[in-house]
Structure 1
Amino acid sequence: MSEPLLVDAIQGRDHNHFQGADGQASAVRRVVTGVSTHGEPQIVSDGPPPRSRAHVAVPGMVNSVVWATAAPPESGYRDLTPDLVTLVPGAGETVALLVTFPPDTVFADPLFDGPKAAREQMEITPGLAELFEQDNPGFHTTPTVDYGVVVSGEVVLDLGSATTVLRQGDIIVQNGTRHAWRNHTDQPATVFFVLIGRKPA
């Protein structure tokens, strides 16, 4: 196989899709390890993240909350993701996300409903959605250090004053700067992010 299975699944070439907790199909397989009561390593979970959502108002956009940790991380393997009230981690906390960005042409479609998309974003990405600028579509600033890996496709990191193209395998370290993600291609792009909460200035 020329590409990793995860990439194949996300791009729809693998038919081994899981069913998310919300009843929607999810191509993401999450394997979580832990330690048994006898002290032996084991796989405690193998399936889709419980918070995987495909957007309706933004066709092709998918958000999966993969994992989250408290500050400091707790021992054990309790899944915090179902109960998260915000996807923006506090100082020392982490949130792992897998995001698929559709081509930017989706937003230029005459049938695109901006207010509906904004309401849906608030529901799917609470805490994060509120940080997006109303007058500058896509731009947002988070109180986090973000590690990102482009899993498939191509995205543009737009800082306003500078841009750079990122392709499959490229790694981003986003240090709490104002930014936006663009997809100027005709194919979806998927990026895996780990957001790490920073101490307040």
Structure 2
Amino acid sequence: MKTIPRRVVTGIRNGKSIIEQDEIVTNVSEHFPGLIISDIWSTDSTPANFEEKVIENTAFPSTPKNGSYFRYVQIPPDKHLGIVAPEGQPHPLMHQTDTLDYIIIISGEIYLIVEEGETLLKAGDIVIQRGTNHAWSNRSDLPCIQLAVLLDAKTA
């Protein structure tokens, strides 16, 4: 699986559909060694307009009000990041966002950790993450690649 994705964007010119962009994305960041994040597309309204937005990759995004992020994430094995969750302590990368996230595991495997449990996810699995405190733990020897759509949401 590629580390940096290719993005193909369609458009309309003279009333006909066209391929407007076809390129390897340049909006890629590495917040920790091997943790590759690329925010592929963003909207800042619903209904969405079709204009491209410049997006700054952040480890924990701030989704635009009434907007969305489409995100590509490659998560390396925990042992490559030196991450250790001490027994009885929360995972060090536990975080919470004010978003509704649709996450698809593309390759590899990863644990989704919440405050009262965890589950192993594998390629093809889908997570609907509804603004909960959570972390990702890759306990395998290979990177995990996921795609995520993050939607601005009202907090409970």
The bucket for the TM-score relative to the shorter chain is 0.7 to 0.9
TM-score of the aligned structures, taking structure 2 as reference length: 0.85
Cα contact 1:34–1:42 (8 A) shared by 2: yes
The answer as to 2:30 corresponding to 1:54 is yes
Give structure 2 stretches of 5+ with no counterpart: 84-89
Partner deviation per Cα, 1:83-109 (whole Å, 9 max, x = no partner): 689832134200011111110102338
How do 1:1-201 and structure 2 match up within 5 A?
A: 8-10=1-3, 26=4, 28-36=5-13, 38-55=14-31, 58-76=32-50, 78-82=51-55, 87-108=61-82, 136-201=91-156
Q: Point out where structure 1 has 5 or more consecutive residues left out of the alignment.
A: 1-7, 11-25, 110-134
Q: CA deviation at 1:81?
A: 2.9
- The amino acid of 1:71's aligned partner reads S
Structure number with higher helix proportion: 1
Cα pair distance change 1:136/1:154, threshold 3 Å: closer
**What secondary structure, in the 3-state scheme, does the structure 2 residue paired with 1:50 have?**
coil
Higher relative CO (Cα under 8 Å, sequence separation at least 6) belongs to 2
TM-score with structure 1 setting the length: 0.67
Query: Which digits, 9 at most, give the CA deviation of each residue in 1:94-136, with x for residues without a partner?
Result: 0011111110102338xxxxxxxxxxxxxxxxxxxxxxxxx85
Secondary structure class of the residue paired with 1:51 = coil
The superposition leaves residues 7-58 of structure 1 with CA deviations (integer Å, 9 ceiling, x where unpaired) of: x334xxxxxxxxxxxxxxx3x100011111x111111111122311234xx3
Task: Write out per-residue CA displacement over residues 165-185 of structure 1, whole angstroms, 9 at most, x where no aligned residue.
Answer: 000011110000100000000
Measure, in 1, the Cα distance between the counterparts of 2:56 and 2:132: 28
Structure 1 partner of 2:87:
none
1:133-183: CA deviation from partner (whole Å, max 9, x where unpaired): xx8511000000000000110010000211000000111100001000000
Secondary structure in 1 matching 2:127: strand
Output the CA distance in 1 between the equivalents of 2:48 and 2:56: 15
Say if 1:90 and 1:200 are closer, same or farther in 2 by CA, change over 3 A. farther
Aligned partners of 1:53, 1:35: CA distance in 2, in Å? 30
User: CA contact under 8 A between 1:149 and 1:191: conserved in structure 2?
Assistant: yes
| Structure with the higher fraction of residues in strand conformation | 2
Residue identity (%): 32
